[in-house]
Amino acid sequence: MKKYFINPELKLSSSILLFLMIIFLCLESFILKLHHDDLKDDYIKSLGAITVRVINKNPELEKEIIPIITREVSQEEADKGRIILNRYGVNKDLESEVFPYVNKNIKKNNYSIIFLFIFMSAIFFVFNYFQYIFFYKKIRKLTIGAKKVIDGDYDLAINENKEGDFSKLASSFNSMREIIRNNIDALKNEKQFLVDLLSDISHQLKTPLSSMIVYNDILLSKDLSKEQRETFLLNNQNQLNRMNWLIKSMLKLAKLDAKAIEFVKEKQSLNETVQDSIDALGSKALQNNIKIVFKEISEVVFKHDKLWVEEALINIIKNGIEHTAQGGEIIIELSENPIYRRIIIADTGEGIDEKDLPHIFKRFYKAKTSRKSDSVGIGLALAKSIIEAHNGTIEAQSKAGKGTKFIVTFLKY
């Protein structure tokens, strides 16, 4: 019952029905009163005629007859009266037409009932008509909305501000519409993502593949010395290594973009993760004569996937090593406060031009001023995706010729 009256439409409908029933009761009471008045009038006419006849025959009975008319007769008097009337065939089995006043009142009563029935039926019909117009109008809105969703139009919103089942239905429809829209958009984005991915793979593999084809043609068609052959084979090996790294990085990035990777996040030391990232690049830093300094203020515990965060940090530190001249330095700072945990990776390298800075996290973006010819611009994009998957942010601050600073922040919330 409580759920029934949650709906404002049913509240209104029930209130109108109750109001109509009250009107019906009032009309019925009024009609019955009119009939009772008519019965009294006919009762007085009939008894008045009898009284006149009796008094004309015997005036002395006037004082006896009048009290009998205005009071309830006894059972004995009623029985004797029935016996006398029955002798002349007057009883309840006679047709109503024989009793003119009774017959008239019966006709009036029947007409009144028919009129009241027609009147109330008309009111109920009109009320029912407008009520169903109201309900079907809302249903048609949902039907039109559903057809538009099927046709790919997701802009029609069903607005129901009142409480009740219609409001819940409208809210569910709007939610369904948004879910379908988002799913369609997601499918379109996935399709575009696959197109872009294939295009990127094709574009990035074209150069090393072309180089390898040229080297192989030279090896097959030319009479080369042993040293020359080793040089070409070494170049091929370098191109194969580059392709191997490129394909693995692109597949990782593709999986991250498609949310196909399930991170195993555990509470563990962020200090160890940073240190392992530094250790992984130790030989490369030594080879380039780059000094890496790790400044840790305190032990920072952070819920993260160690291997993936390490992958992101390696890409950032590796970028610093590759763009810093020999004898340079990379300083890594790890800090924590009540709001966030932060890793700052600053190098003393060539820096980034102001025009290139907003684009460095885009995949395959390569700064025009970069002196590193074999860079493909995928490492920072991969690092950004990993950090964002851990609810973190990364930003870069740099000036050409004055080094670059990467700031990785993990908010506590």
d(CA 7, CA 10): 5
Write down which residue in 240, 257, 274 finishes a domain.
257
Q: Same structural domain for residues 309 and 391?
A: yes
CA distances from 29 to 22, 40, 42, 113, 387 (A): 10, 16, 20, 12, 81
Instruction: Tell me, yes or no, whether 175 and 138 share the same domain.
Output: no
Q: Residue 407 and residue 413: Cα distance in Å, rounded?
A: 19
114 and 199 belong to one structural domain:
no
Note the pLDDT of residue 26: 84
Half-sphere exposure of 269 (CA within 13 A, CB side): 10
Total number of domains in the chain: 3
Count of alpha carbons within 13 Å of 178, Cβ hemisphere only?
Answer: 8
Q: Count the alpha carbons within 13 Å of 239 in the hemisphere toward its beta carbon.
A: 19
Cα–Cα dist 285/323, whole Å: 12
Give alpha helix (H) positions in 58-74: 62-69
Calpha distance 69→47 (Å, rounded): 7
Distances (CA, A) of 225 to 133, 211, 220, 234, 288: 94, 20, 12, 14, 32
Q: Are residues 179 and 44 in the same domain?
A: no
Residue 159 lies in a domain: no
Strand 329-336 to strand 291-296: parallel, antiparallel, or no bridges (unpaired)?
parallel
CATH of the domain at 209: 1.10.287
Reported residue count of the chain is: 413
Query: Does a structural domain hold residue 327?
Result: yes
Say yes or no: 141 and 58 in one domain: yes
One-letter amino acid of 360: I
Q: How high is the pLDDT of residue 396?
A: 93
Q: Which domain holds residue 286?
A: 266-411
- H or E stretch at 291: strand 291-296
Sign of the dihedral through C-alpha 39, 40, 42, 43: positive
Q: Are residues 15 and 110 in the same domain?
A: yes
Q: Which of these three, 257, 290, 310, is where a domain ends?
A: 257
Residues 340 and 242 in one domain: no
Q: Are residues 348 and 239 in the same domain?
A: no
pLDDT tens for each residue of the chain, 413 residues long? 555 556 666 667 777 778 878 888 888 788 778 777 777 777 777 777 777 877 788 777 777 777 777 677 777 777 777 787 777 776 776 666 656 666 677 777 777 778 878 887 888 788 777 777 777 777 777 777 777 777 777 677 777 666 666 677 777 777 777 887 888 877 787 777 667 766 766 766 777 788 788 878 888 877 778 888 888 888 888 788 778 877 777 777 777 777 777 888 999 999 999 999 999 999 889 999 999 999 988 899 999 999 999 999 999 999 899 889 999 999 999 999 999 999 999 999 888 888 888 888 887 766 655 555 455 567 888 899 899 989 999 999 998 888 999 999 999 87
| Domain annotation covers residue 160 | no
Mark whether 135 and 205 lie in a shared domain: no
155 found inside a domain: no
Place of tokens 């059972």: 75
Query: Residue 393: in which H helix or E strand, if any?
Result: strand 392-398
Q: Is residue 390 part of a domain?
A: yes
Q: Convert 217-249 to b/e letters by CB count within 10 Å (16 or more is b).
A: eeeeeeeeeeeeeeebeeebeebeebbeebeeb
Q: Is 157 inside a domain boundary?
A: no
Residues 288 and 387 in one domain: yes
Domain boundary among 257, 275, 291: 257
CA distance 299 to 336: 9
Amino acid in the structure at residue 47? L
pTM of full prediction above 0.85: no
- Residues 271, 252 within the same domain: no
User: Do 9 and 129 lie in a common domain?
Assistant: yes
Query: Which residue in the block uniquely carries the two structure tokens 């019955």?
Result: 32
Structure-token pair, residue 348: 């003393």
DSSP assignment of 86-116 equals HHTT-STTS-GGGSHHHHHHHHHHHHHHHHH
**Domain presence at residue 380:** yes
Q: How far apart (Å, rounded) are the C-alpha atoms in residues 236 and 214? A: 10
CATH of the domain at 370: 3.30.565.10
pLDDT the model gives residue 76: 79
CA 205, CA 142: separation in Å to the nearest integer?
52
In a domain, 156, yes or no: no
Dig out the tokens for 164 from the structure.
Answer: 């009740």
**Using CB atoms within 10 A of its CB, is residue 264 exposed (0-12), middle (13-18) or buried (19+)?**
exposed
102 exposed, middle or buried (CB, 10 Å; 0-12, 13-18, 19+)? middle
Mean pLDDT rounded to a whole number for the chain: 80
